[in-house]
């Protein structure tokens, strides 16, 4: 028989389990673990050095570091250049463990350029980190060269404004020659593609093993797309909105008309573009268009018409039957003063008839649309949509329009999706959150409406709300306990804090913040009520069953208790 301590010891002898446990600990804890024993030391050191985001920690193993100048933010430099013995110590215990290196020049502590020069001059091996597979660099590009090596497969880089623009070409040549096996290229920059297009074309066409390309918006131009179409393993072309990703110049993609050749994009399954919808339609109508897409996302620089949205959906239904994720984002402009919805023509608002083709995608489970004006939808439209789409996992229907003075949808709009979409995890709608059209008994117990089964995020954007308590009470009936209530806008309002639009959104957000505060408590109370009701119903069912058995016995004996065998029978008079 094993003692508890012996069993615990056997479990902690499993390296894979220790590695998982150490992965949840902080650096100081793992530093202590590295001192426990030799077996723990190797595993803890692997965890400590696998993902390195501090060059100071790496360089100080070679030689002591000190600040180059006498001011707090001064960068660090070596007190003396490293020698062969220093490099031997680094290579013996640490350098081989690093798989991912991230360096940010604006981070702390910063390294002085002379430190990189000392490392480049004194290193005893061409590959400083022999097992490095990911390099993320947000500093002067030239400083990254000493860490470039053939083992690197993923490269993320912040590109500064090269002066002159053609000076980026020598650096790209270093990337190609030193990291020829790159499979992921993540470009972060505010440099317009028109300023470096020749150099970027060279870089992309010289990395034949690329599988994923990530850029800021407006960097995939006509010429870049024509270059990417020849990469046989390329599966993903995407852009990111995050500020750290940067942003290009919208002018560069105002006209997007690449000519696709036979065999274009043979492996592409995820495509994101920033171009007009009309150009997307033209692209997908070409005979060599990528038809194996499972994800397609377009961000248009125009306020697109409902007809254009309908035409794009129609083309995609015909050409991309494998689509699982689809997003259509059109320009949202807050430069104009508040506009009354009554002034908006019905031909400018996307209606259910414009979106109807989405129901014919056989595999679509995620759909998102964003537009300047509220969608022209009615409750019966959502009822029909929800009934026909039980596999839906995410649906965002323009929850943050700029023109947001009124909505034809109320809280009732949530009910069809709770009833008919059991897999739904995220829902975004623009509604007038009023309980006026709900039955007066909507607060009853047990609940009248079927709650969401898997909802994790409810995005209501700039939806209207009046009575926060009543709205929270309704949502507690239909939402799970841990649902995240999201509100506000994602489009830029910087510099417009004094506008009427900003003030309107701020007031609505304050109300939704109150709803979000009340919702968890009310939801928990609702769940407790449901559990009590369930137990009470179970008890009533049990009592009815017992009563039925006793009445059956009484009927058999004619209502008389005769002899011992009928001792427990009910006496019916």
**Which stretches within 206-342 are classed as H helix?**
222-228, 277-285, 306-319
Residue of 105, 175, 176, 94 lying closest to 129 (CA atoms)? 94
Burial class (CB in 10 A: 0-12, 13-18, 19+), 309: buried
Can you read off the two tokens belonging to residue 60?
């100080």
Q: Are 331 and 303 in contact (CB under 8 A)?
A: yes
Other beta carbons within 10 Å of 267: 13
Asked whether the CA dihedral 459, 464, 470, 474 is positive or negative, the reply is: negative
Q: Name the pTM for this structure.
A: 0.84
Residue 92, classified by CB atoms within 10 Å of its CB into exposed (0-12), middle (13-18) or buried (19+), is exposed
Residue 82 lies in a domain: no
What pLDDT was estimated at residue 496? 72
Structure tokens that stand for 309 in this block: 């949205």
- Residue 11 belongs to a domain: yes
Hey, what are 429's tokens? 């709608």
CA 125/CA 571 separation, integer angstroms: 99
pLDDT at 446: 43
Cis peptide before 446 (omega within 30 of 0): yes
The beta-strand segments (E) located in 371-487 are 394-397, 426-429, 432-433, 457-459, 464-465, 484-486
Q: Tell me which residue of 233, 299, 298 sits closest to 268, measured CA to CA.
A: 233
Q: Which pLDDT does position 167 carry in this prediction?
A: 79
Q: Is the distance from CB of 456 to CB of 425 less than 8 angstroms?
A: yes
Buried b (16+ CB within 10 A) or exposed e, 101-140: bbbbeeeebbbbeebbebbeebbeeebbbeebbbbbbbbe
Residues 6 or more apart whose CB falls under 8 angstroms from that of 172 comprise: 199, 200, 202, 203, 206
The Cα–Cα gap between 552 and 550 comes to 5
Domain with 11, as residue range(s), is 1-49
Taking a C-beta distance cutoff of 8 angstroms, is the pair 277, 300 a contact? yes
| 3-class state of residue 375 by DSSP | coil
In the chain, the number of structural domains is 1
**Domain presence at residue 2:** yes
Cis peptide before 494 (omega within 30 of 0): no
pLDDT at 229: 97
Position 200 in a domain: no
Q: Minimal CA–CA distance to 175: which of 191, 196, 198, 152?
A: 152
Q: Is residue 502 part of a domain?
A: no
Neighbour-count burial for 449-468, b at 16+ CB within 10 Å, e otherwise: bebbeebeebbbbbbbbeeb
Predicted local confidence at residue 532, as pLDDT: 77
260 in a structural domain? no
Beta strands in 289-355 (DSSP E): 295-299, 325-329
> Token pair of 45, please?
């050191």
pLDDT on residue 445: 46
Exposed, middle or buried, 441 (CB in 10 Å: 0-12/13-18/19+)? exposed
Q: What is the pLDDT of residue 46?
A: 74
Confirm whether 60 is domain-assigned: no
What is the structure's pLDDT at 548?
Answer: 82
Question: Do the domain assignments include residue 36?
Answer: yes
Closest by Cα among 466, 410, 463 to 438: 410
C-alpha distances out from residue 21 to 4, 45, 384, 484, Å: 19, 13, 48, 29
In angstroms, the CA 489 to CA 497 distance is 13
SS (H, E, C) 160-208: CCCCCHHHHHHHHHHHHHHCCCCCEEEEEECCCHHHCHHHHHHHHHCCC
pLDDT at 543: 85
The reported pLDDT for the residue numbered 356 is 94
pLDDT digits (tens, 9 = 90+) for 180-199: 999 999 999 999 999 999 99
The helix (run of H) or strand (run of E) holding residue 352 is helix 352-355
User: 3-state DSSP call for residue 422?
Assistant: coil
State phi, psi for 223 to the nearest 5 degrees: -70, -35
Token code pair at residue 240: 């990111």
Is-contact 482 456, C-beta < 8 A? yes
pLDDT at residue 175, rounded to an integer: 96
Contacts of 486 (CB under 8 A, 6+ apart): 428, 457, 458, 459, 460, 461
Cα diameter, the chain: 111
Low-confidence ranges of the chain (pLDDT < 50): 1-2, 441, 443-447, 561-573
Q: Work out whether the CA dihedral 509, 511, 517, 523 comes out positive or negative.
A: negative
Residue 361 has what pLDDT?
Answer: 95
């Amino acid at each position: 028989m094993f003692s508890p301590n012996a069993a615990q010891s056997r479990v902690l002898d499993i390296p894979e389990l220790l590695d998982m446990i150490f992965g949840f600990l902080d650096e100081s804890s793992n530093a202590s673990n590295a001192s426990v024993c030799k077996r723990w030391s190797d595993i803890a050191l692997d965890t400590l050095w696998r993902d390195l985001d501090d060059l100071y920690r790496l360089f100080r193993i070679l030689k002591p570091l000190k600040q180059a100048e006498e001011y707090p933010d001064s960068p660090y430099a070596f007190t003396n250049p490293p020698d062969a013995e220093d490099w031997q110590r680094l290579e013996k215990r640490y350098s081989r463990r690093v798989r991912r290196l991230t360096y940010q020049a604006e981070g702390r502590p910063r390294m002085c350029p002379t430190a990189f020069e000392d490392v480049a001059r004194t290193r005893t091996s061409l590959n400083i980190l022999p097992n490095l597979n990911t390099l993320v660099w947000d500093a002067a590009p030239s400083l990254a060269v000493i860490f470039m090596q053939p083992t690197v497969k993923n490269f993320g880089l912040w590109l500064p404004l090269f002066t002159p623009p053609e000076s980026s070409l020598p650096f790209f040549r270093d990337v190609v020659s030193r990291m020829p096996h790159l499979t992921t290229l993540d470009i972060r920059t505010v440099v317009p593609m028109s300023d470096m297009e020749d150099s970027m074309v060279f870089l992309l066409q010289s990395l034949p093993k690329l599988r994923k390309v990530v850029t800021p918006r407006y960097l995939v131009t006509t010429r870049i797309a024509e270059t990417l179409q020849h990469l046989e393993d390329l599966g993903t072309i995407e852009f990111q909105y995050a500020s750290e990703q940067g942003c290009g110049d919208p002018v560069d993609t105002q006209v997007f008309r690449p000519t696709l050749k036979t065999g274009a994009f043979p492996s592409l399954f995820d495509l994101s573009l920033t171009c007009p919808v009309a150009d997307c339609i033209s692209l997908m109508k070409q005979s060599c268009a990528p038809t194996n897409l499972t994800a397609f996302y377009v961000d248009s620089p125009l306020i697109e018409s409902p007809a254009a949205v309908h035409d794009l959906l129609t083309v995609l239904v015909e050409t991309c039957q494998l689509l699982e994720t689809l997003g259509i984002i059109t320009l949202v402009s807050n430069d104009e003063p508040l506009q009354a919805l009554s002034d908006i023509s019905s031909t400018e608002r996307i209606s259910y008839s414009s979106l109807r083709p989405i129901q014919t995608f056989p595999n679509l489970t995620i759909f998102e649309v964003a537009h300047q004006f509220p969608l022209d939808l009615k409750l019966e439209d959502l009822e029909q949509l929800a009934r026909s789409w039980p596999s839906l996992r995410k649906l965002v229907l323009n929850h943050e329009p700029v023109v947001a003075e009124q909505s034809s949808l109320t809280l009732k709009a949530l009910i069809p999706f709770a009833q008919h979409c059991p897999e739904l995890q995220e829902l975004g709608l623009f509604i007038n959150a009023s309980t006026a059209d709900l039955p007066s008994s909507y607060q009853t117990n047990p609940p009248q409406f079927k709650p969401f089964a898997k909802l994790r995020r409810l995005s209501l954007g700039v939806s209207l709300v009046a009575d926060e308590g009543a709205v929270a009470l309704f949502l507690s009936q239909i939402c799970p306990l841990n649902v995240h209530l999201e509100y506000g806008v994602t489009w830029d309002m910087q510099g417009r804090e004094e506008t009427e639009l900003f003030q309107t959104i701020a007031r609505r957000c304050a109300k939704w913040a109150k709803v979000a505060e009340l919702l968890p408590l009310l939801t928990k109370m609702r769940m407790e009520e449901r559990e009590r009701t369930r137990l009470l119903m179970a008890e009533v069912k049990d009592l009815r069953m017992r009563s039925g058995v006793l009445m059956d016995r009484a009927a058999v004996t004619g209502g008389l208790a005769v002899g011992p065998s009928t001792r427990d029978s009910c006496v019916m008079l």
